[in-house]
Amino acid sequence: MAWKFWLVIAMVIVNWGIEARKWQLLMMPVQVMSFIHAFKSVLCGVTLSLNTPNRIGEYAGRVLFVEEGKRLTAVSLSIAGGIAQLIITVMAGCFGIIFLLFSKEEIVLDMEFLSSG
């Protein structure tokens, strides 16, 4: 049972790592940032977003690691990156729904599998 916990922790760290790489790539035209610096920025954003409504603190947390005159540009890039990620997620979901609608096989939910956690 403990392996599930450690698997989730590992997946969270991988997710934050991917998010840090995305932030590093987004910030490349504005400010060169190391991966560790981007990772700290993402963690700071996650920390502040937990205490603010609608994850507004995520933008504030990330720009704390950006140089003084470039913070407004960083917020704009962060919003643009979030919108791009949302568009990709919605498109993937639409393709998944289309696949399920036109799939020849009937999908059966195993309720016993879902209830055993």
The reported pLDDT for the residue numbered 90 is 98
CA–CA separation, 62 and 78 (whole Å): 9
Residue 56 pLDDT grade (very low, low, confident, very high; cuts 50, 70, 90): confident
Residue extents of the structural domains in the chain: 2-115
Q: Provide the angle, in degrees to the nearest 10, between the axes of the packed helices 2-27 and 71-102.
A: 120
CA–CA separation, 72 and 75 (whole Å): 5
The reported pLDDT for the residue numbered 116 is 58
**Token pair recorded at residue 21:** 């790489």
If you search the block for the tokens 């919605």, which residue do you land on? 90
pLDDT exceeds 70 at position 113 = no
* Residue 82, Cβ density class (10 Å: 0-12 exposed, 13-18 middle, ≥19 buried): middle
The reported pLDDT for the residue numbered 103 is 79
Averaged confidence pLDDT in the chain: 88
Task: Please give the radius of gyration of the chain, using alpha carbons only, rounded to the nearest integer.
Answer: 19
Nearest Cα to 40, choosing from 59, 22, 17, 60? 17
If you search the block for the tokens 């190391």, which residue do you land on? 34
Residue 112 pLDDT grade (very low, low, confident, very high; cuts 50, 70, 90): low
